[in-house]
Chain A
Amino acid sequence: MQRLSGWGRTAWTVADVITTNDPQSIREAVYGANDRGVIARGLGRSYGAAAQNAGGRVIEMANESDPLGIDADLDPVSGMLSVGAGVSLDSILRMCVPRGWFVPVTPGTRFVTVGGAIASDVHGKNHHLDGSFGQHVRSMTLLLANGDIVELSPESNPAWFWATVGGMGLTGIILRATIAMLPIESSRVRVETERLANFDAVCEAMSSDGSDDDYRYSVCWVDLLATGSSMGRGVLTRGDHASANEVDSDEPCAYDPRLTVSAPGWVPNGLLNKFSIKVFNEAWFRKAPSKRHVGLESIPAFFHPLDGVNKWNRLYGNQGFIQYQFIVPLDRTDVLRQVIETFSAAGVGSFLAVLKRMGPQNDAPMSFPTEGWTLTLDIAAGIKGLAELLAKVDSMVLDAGGRHYLAKDSHVSPSAVRRGYARLDEWMNTQHEMDPNGVWRSDLARRLGLVEPRRS
């Protein structure tokens, strides 16, 4: 029995954990589970309770020290990567970048597994043009609750394929996937950085007529604690992979990600408070060049800046933190502003608030991204009155036709999912068809009523 939590380090529960990525052992672990069911877990980067299963079984799939090397096979011509679900994007990048291939979508951390990336249908800075992770999956191998192993693709079985994309692991255990990789000429990113004085300037620069569609990658860091005329000021970074001749090197695809420092093992609660965050935000804003600046950055620096600090989630102390990510339709920037003002008025600072304009929704009923604005922020979990404050903000988001990202969620109510995800019933029907006996269970699924309750 082992205590597990998500990346936010809140809401710990105890489960029977089995570590394996061998299909036969996984199948046996599923057969031998008790009536609290089973869920697969990758690298535990979901912020809330998606990959834990109180009183039940958890199968840990991440296998970063496989003596046989990375379980992945790259076709050097087509760029198709056949990869085990427990392999991380970190391993994939180490293997593929030097050969001139990049992952089609990467979230803000490369320490996620392929299985987790599909189950959460993760997105990155290129969503407005390239969509989310699931759109680049050509096929996958799925272990069903009854022990059958099936091949799914958008052509062969679209209903089951798209129910699994964004399905939070509740349709089966993903064993393998084939992913269409992106060709690159170098391991550098040409990045344009600019400071934006207030929230209007941020929204204008990021809208499609503000030339945002000219950049493959685009994201804006927003200062939630700035008030008055600089409310919502930000630093916008946009870019694309640099071509070989932009990089002055014999080995333009050389790739060497390093973990620079580790967070200390113990940090007092409240180290990250509104005062320290205010100081940080000011420094971060001032650090950015006041005029538009173009430069080359490495892949880790541009895509995964936080991965440079090993176990950075400890910085919030043992109380943990939550990440709040929601999306509202493109024409509802008024709600974004209202949300920012609500947090600011409550003195809730966020040390990482990022805004991104997302592209159209894909075919997965439970996929989070849809055309609109998504705002993401970190909040220390121990703040007084947080449950009430978030309930207020949840209503603003839902009333505007928005919704919450389940991979980040730690608190929303079942009605928030029902209101936010119009195709929930359709997904639940498919889920039930794929798992009629209710084997797949997680704490998240139990809280949100994603699966039918089962009596022990």
Chain B
Amino acid sequence: MKNGVGVAQNIVLFGGTSEIGQAILKRVVKPGVANLVLVSRDIEAAAEVSQSLMYEYPDLEVHHVRYDASDAESIVHVVNEVVDAVGDIDVAVLAQGLLNEGHDYYADPVGVVSMASVNFTGKMVLMYSLAARMRSQGYGKIVLLSSVAGERVRKGNPAYGATKAGIDGFALALDHELEGTGASVLVVRPGFVTTKMTAGMSKAPFSTDADSVAKIVEKGISSNSKVVWAPGILQWMFLILKNLPIAIWRRLPL
């Protein structure tokens, strides 16, 4: 659980090499965090990430768990492995994601299956296993990195937007279901974030960076928000965008 000054004891990052995930860790790892688990496909790359945190917090124990985000079958075992390593999971940040920008799904329609299993089905399996554990702990917070793309799916990468829309809706309803159990979900909806994943892509309006997202996430966790947007103004923008008639929506230079 968290302590009296809002610091969680055990934090797990799924997608241990994600840039936004790392930025969140820099914000939420503070004196008082006992264990940090980095769950990733590439343990060596994740270990590099944890170096500076271990240096800054000598009492912090860092654990690494390898997993394949698209292998839904193995995810339950991964959660068990994390529990074996640290006991309670107080905060789980879900930062793994597949963008596949520019991939030609018209030529490779089956490609959407692997994207859906990383971004959608695998994440549902993960969130159910985490929620089950957190419910039995009487405390726990899942932080899901969703996207504004999930709020109204647009052309360009419809498969990606659809998986985000799916998991976003699932997360909100799961949080509703968990009410009163001590477990909860925070849905994070960033706009365009300049990271290595989006390098080379043309920036959308109101773009932001990983640390700004992290700052908003930190605040969202401590204030027990259900949904946060990064930057915050997107919440109001999308209130309008979401409800625009299709004819106008399609003409927007987005």
Contact = CB atoms under 8 A, between A and B. Distances in A.
Contacts of A137: none
A14 B3 contact: no
Residue picked from B7, B136, B138, most chain A C-beta under 10 Å: B138
A55 B5 contact: no
Interface in B31-45: 31-32, 34
Interface string B101-116: 0000000000000000
B136 A55 contact: yes
B31 A447 contact: no
B58 to A, nearest CB: 10
A56 B135 CA distance: 11
A56 B180 CA distance: 14
Interface stretch (A192-200, A222-230, A271-279, A411-419): A411-419
Given A13-B1, A322-B5, A411-B3, A387 B139 contact: no
Interface of A: 1, 3, 6, 8, 10-15, 36, 47-49, 53-56, 320, 322, 381-382, 386-388, 390-391, 409-411, 413-415, 443, 446-447, 453, 455-456
Contact of B6 (A6, A14, A48, A381): A381
Contacts of B4: 6, 8, 10-11, 47-49, 320, 322, 381, 409-411
Contacts of B180: 1, 3, 14
Nearest to A16: B138
Nearest to B3: A411
30 contacts: A1-B180, A1-B182, A10-B5, A10-B6, A11-B2, A11-B3, A11-B6, A13-B1, A14-B180, A14-B182, A15-B138, A36-B137, A36-B138, A48-B3, A53-B138, A54-B139, A55-B135, A55-B182, A381-B4, A381-B5, A388-B31, A391-B31, A410-B4, A411-B3, A413-B32, A413-B34, A443-B1, A447-B9, A455-B87, A456-B83
Contacts of A387: 5-7, 30-32
A316 B32 CA distance: 23
Given A11-B1, A415-B59, A455-B84, A1 B181 contact: yes
B88 interface: yes
Interface of B: 1-7, 9, 30-32, 34, 59, 83-84, 87-88, 135-139, 180-182, 222
A386 B139 contact: no
Is chain A's interface secondary structure helix, strand, loop, or mixed overall?
loop
A387 B7 CA distance: 7
B179 to A, nearest CB: 11
A446 B88 CA distance: 10
A15 B6 CA distance: 19
Contacts of B34: 413-414
Contacts of B181: 1, 14
Nearest to B87: A453
A92 to B, nearest CB: 29
Contacts of A391: 31-32
Nearest to A6: B4
A14 B138 CA distance: 5
Contact of A390 (B31, B83, B87, B222): B31
A311 B83 CA distance: 38
A447 B138 contact: no
Contact of B138 (A8, A56, A456): A56
Given A411-B5, A443-B1, 18 more contacts: A1-B180, A10-B3, A10-B4, A11-B4, A11-B6, A14-B139, A14-B180, A47-B4, A48-B3, A49-B3, A390-B5, A410-B4, A411-B3, A411-B7, A446-B87, A446-B88, A453-B87, A456-B83
Nearest to A391: B31
Contacts of A10: 3-6
B32 A55 contact: no
B192 to A, nearest CB: 28
B32 A411 contact: yes
B214 to A, nearest CB: 15
B87 to A, nearest CB: 6
B28 to A, nearest CB: 10
B5 to A, nearest CB: 5
Contact of B31 (A410, A413, A453): A413
A381 B7 CA distance: 11
B68 to A, nearest CB: 26
A456 B136 contact: yes
Residue picked from B3, B30, B32, B180, most chain A C-beta under 10 Å: B3
Contacts of B30: 387-388
A447 B6 contact: no
A443 B139 CA distance: 10
Contact of A36 (B9, B136, B222): B136
Contacts of B32: 387, 391, 411, 413
B3 to A, nearest CB: 4
Nearest to A456: B136
B1 A410 contact: no
Contacts of A322: 4-5
A50 to B, nearest CB: 11
A179 to B, nearest CB: 31
A49 B1 contact: yes
